[in-house]
Amino acid sequence: MSKLFSSYQLKNMELKNRIVMAPMCMYSSNLDGIAQDWHFTHYTTRAVGGVGLILLEATGVENRGRISDRDLGIWSEEHIDGLKQIVQSCKKHGAKVGVQLAHAGRKSEVLAEPSIAPSSIAFNDKYRTPIEMTKEDIKTVEVAFREAARRADQAGFDTIELHAAHGYLISEFLSPMTNKRTDEYGGSEENRVRFLKEILSEVKSVWPKDKPILVRVSAEDYAPEGNHDSIVANMLLSVKDDIDLFNVSSGGVIDTAMKVYPGYQVKFAETIRKVTGIPVIAGGLITSPLMAEEILQNDRADFIFLGRELLRNPYWPLQAAKELRENIDWPKQYERGK
């Protein structure tokens, strides 16, 4: 059997394969952050297509924490029902479902509210200069993550992913390029990871112990003075006991060019996996089933995330199984196409 189509047990969540749909913003909610028909169709289609784990897009724990004013929200009880419908539909088709709990920080484009960040530094000249967070602000956001996790459980999600990548708020605290604080939240690696640690503590107080917690990280800032995979891996050692799976990405912290190519982030995932001993999801322009299988067979990662490829082809897993000579079940309605 191929490893891509082997099952995996993560706490109480049994995944039928190692294919993960990466969180990708759809910019399709209403202004209140409530899920629409588009979301229901979009995510259910990938479940029908055979994805093992679907991670919903960055979902704001606060209104000011959304990337845009059309992103999903989870800061209110009113958000639960729409999310629950998506979860229930995807599960009917054999997928497990998680939601990425997010706060955009200085990269928020919700103009109705000021943006916040660990330090008052704009992302670039097209973005607003954020307000530097007070310790009261920090606590407010930590509680917002806790309450978002509680709502996620009520909505029936199998897992949650904390968005600590791509230059959004948690990522801004982790990177020395965006965190210039002189208090206990800035300076040393120990201090810069404190915000993430405290969020995890809040989240764990309400999230069921038998459900896994994921964290997405940027393992490379693409600047000499920024974070690199070895630095990030070292910081993550202090939180690894609270995390079940790392989703390893890169970039987004500063406005800089990145050299991308198929699998360009896999080496970062390898480092995080080796140093922390925690399973990882790897990806980055992976389109070939053979390439995904190689990464898994050589123990470079435990899961493969797909983004753009699943936008182009929601049935990629079904076609990948054919290429890897795996006789997996197809949806009954589509068996004639098998």
Quick: pLDDT tens for 259-270.
Answer: 999 999 999 999
Q: Given pLDDT bands bounded at 50, 70 and 90, which one contains residue 158?
A: very high
pLDDT at 1 over 90: no
pLDDT per residue as tens digits for the range 238-291:
999 999 999 999 999 999 989 999 999 999 999 999 999 999 999 999 999 999
CA–CA separation, 137 and 185 (whole Å): 12
Q: What percent of the chain has pLDDT over 90?
A: 99
pLDDT at 188 over 90: yes
Please compute the mean of the pLDDT values over residues 71-94 and round it to a whole number. 98
Please compute the mean of the pLDDT values over residues 92-114 and round it to a whole number. 97
- Is 3.40.50.300 the CATH number for 8-337? no
Mean pLDDT of the chain: 97
CA–CA separation, 16 and 5 (whole Å): 7
pLDDT per residue as tens digits for the range 288-308:
999 999 999 999 999 999 999
pLDDT at 221 over 90: yes
Q: Given pLDDT bands bounded at 50, 70 and 90, which one contains residue 7?
A: very high
pLDDT at 332 over 90: yes
Q: Given pLDDT bands bounded at 50, 70 and 90, which one contains residue 123?
A: very high
pTM to 2 decimals? 0.97
Please compute the mean of the pLDDT values over residues 185-210 and round it to a whole number. 98
Closest CA to 158 of 320, 299, 304, 20: 20
pLDDT per residue as tens digits for the range 11-61:
999 999 999 999 999 999 999 999 999 999 999 999 999 999 999 999 999
Strands 159-164 and 280-283: unpaired
Encoding tokens for residue 287? 């389109």
**Three-state secondary structure of the chain:** CCCCCCCEEECCEEECCCEEECCCCCCCCCCCCCCCHHHHHHHHHHHHCCCCEEEEEEEECCHHHCCCCCCCECCCHHHHHHHHHHHHHHHHCCCEEEEEEECCHHHCCCCCCCCEECCCCCCCCCCCCCEECCHHHHHHHHHHHHHHHHHHHHCCCCEEEEEECCCCHHHHHHCCCCCCCCCCCCCCHHHHCHHHHHHHHHHHCCCCCCCCEEEEEECCCCCCCCCCHHHHHHHHCCCHHHCCEEEEECCCCCCCCCCCCCCCCHHHHHHHHHHHCCCEEEECCCCCHHHHHHHHHCCCCCEEEECHHHHHCCCHHHHHHHHCCCCCCCCHHHHHHC
| pLDDT value, residue 155 | 98
